[in-house]
Structure 1
């Protein structure tokens, strides 16, 4: 995540019982300058071409070493003919959105990209114009706030299940907590135990399909003074050389399936 921890915490608290996390990738300038760009007009492009494009912001490319977008999307097997939902993509300039949206919308194969942005009342209200029960894949990238804060986390996972068609998939990448420590409901550390999410997914009706180590970081001991926020990009604890040497957080990468 590239938003400051202060912005994220205030954003969460400001929605009275449920904090909607908008993942702001890159600098504010990079994001807002892309607000009006229609990525669907990019034309057919491969994932490789989009990831390596000279049009991608340099700060996005710099984070590929931690986020591995090509490997991650290949692991999830995102295809251009799919109807794909992304939860809290951070606007048109979002890290994954500016790869996935042109890949889907520009292919001309009948696929569609549906961003579920913050501030819309989801899941108390279903997402407008989203064809529930017809989505091929829902994707969650480090948007872990709805797993922990405010309204019951299970409600959000349940609604993801409703979005998908029978046989549809849910892919998630999130900051992996220390499995020897029970999940803190307040998530002061910023980490989410993979087992905590898996239990919610299976309760919703999902079947666990597979996991990948592509976004793992064994250097992340998860015992930092300010938890996740000691690491880049927040570097809340100071000692930047130490925490830059660790890199961004250790992350679990899971794929689930709706039976049918």
Structure 2
């Protein structure tokens, strides 16, 4: 099954992107930032997270994804919580934030990981409440092995932040995206931020194992799985990233993998975090 999912992306590698007119009409990174979002980004509770704003561009990214403070928003695979802490501040007062966790029944995970996924979903509401100072009932979470009927068709947005490569290499992409599609309202949208490979990068480098994917492949995958490409933003672009690291994206900050010497570390820090695509998709009827 894993080879089938990855072969699908390889087969469409040469396909053209969606209508360029549509892409050009998408909001740009210079769009006006909604006041509640600006306030959340500036909140003192984000003091430790703010250093990465220069790389993650949360104001431009969430504005491009057209997230508003009254929406119900799912964050897929919340991980370390960097975006959850911001989204908790932004959505907590008037909206709803839901953590969407991997299907823990997948054979991609061992028993320890499966237990950790379920535990993460259980802890999520209380953790975001503590981070944001908002009531825990403003937050919820569940795993994607079974989508509750009451949740289907209720989400305005779902955010998939730097996670598509894992979905592909773990053979979860088709199942998880299908589950997310079930959760979205008829006009709901998925925003994807993902490490971006060069357009001519070989399949061996873009199968998910290096963290980088080709933009055209991600777009076509989403189109095949029931979404219309709305547009793209270059808010998270980094032209200094050659996107060809033998050990993958983890060579760059913040991981700085491979134990680099001080001179190499300085060069990598000067490059910064990875070049990233920022894509928006609407649920197709």
TM-score range, shorter chain: 0.7 to 0.9
Secondary structure at 1:46 match in 2: helix
Contact 2:105–2:145 (Cα < 8 Å) also in 1: yes
Question: What's 1:188 paired with?
Answer: 209
Alpha-carbon separation, structure 2, partners of 1:250 and 1:130: 38
Q: List aligned pairs for 1:62-211, cutoff 5 A.
A: 62-90=51-79, 94-107=81-94, 111-118=95-102, 120-121=104-105, 125-128=145-148, 131-184=151-204, 186-211=207-232
Alpha-carbon separation, structure 2, partners of 1:169 and 1:147: 18
Contact 2:102–2:145 (Cα < 8 Å) also in 1: no
Question: What's 1:221 paired with?
Answer: 242
Question: What's 1:6 paired with?
Answer: none
Deviation (angstroms), 1:147: 2.8
Secondary structure at 2:189 match in 1: strand
1:257 aligns with 2:282: yes
Contact 2:166–2:211 (Cα < 8 Å) also in 1: no
Question: What's 1:55 paired with?
Answer: 45
Secondary structure at 2:45 match in 1: coil
> Considering only CA atoms, is the larger Rg found in Structure 1 or Structure 2?
2
Per the normalisation by structure 1, the TM-score is 0.74
Listed as ranges, the gaps of 5+ residues in structure 1 are 1-44
Question: What's 2:110 paired with?
Answer: none
Listed as ranges, the gaps of 5+ residues in structure 2 are 1-34, 107-142
Deviation (angstroms), 1:234: 1.6
String of CA shifts for 1:141-179, please: whole Å, max 9, x gaps: 112344312334222222221111111111010101122
Alpha-carbon distance change, 124 to 113 in structure 1, aligned in 2, over 3 angstroms: closer
Question: What's 2:32 paired with?
Answer: none
Alpha-carbon separation, structure 1, partners of 2:150 and 2:219: 25
String of CA shifts for 1:174-226, please: whole Å, max 9, x gaps: 10112202444653321122222111110111000010000000000012232
Alpha-carbon distance change, 89 to 124 in structure 1, aligned in 2, over 3 angstroms: closer
Higher helix share: 2
Alpha-carbon separation, structure 2, partners of 1:196 and 1:61: 32
Alpha-carbon separation, structure 2, partners of 1:199 and 1:65: 29
RMSD over aligned CA atoms reads 2.2
- How many residue pairs get aligned? The number is 210
Per the normalisation by structure 2, the TM-score is 0.68
Secondary structure at 1:253 match in 2: strand
Alpha-carbon distance change, 125 to 132 in structure 1, aligned in 2, over 3 angstroms: same
- Higher alpha-carbon deviation: 117-126 or 180-189: 117-126
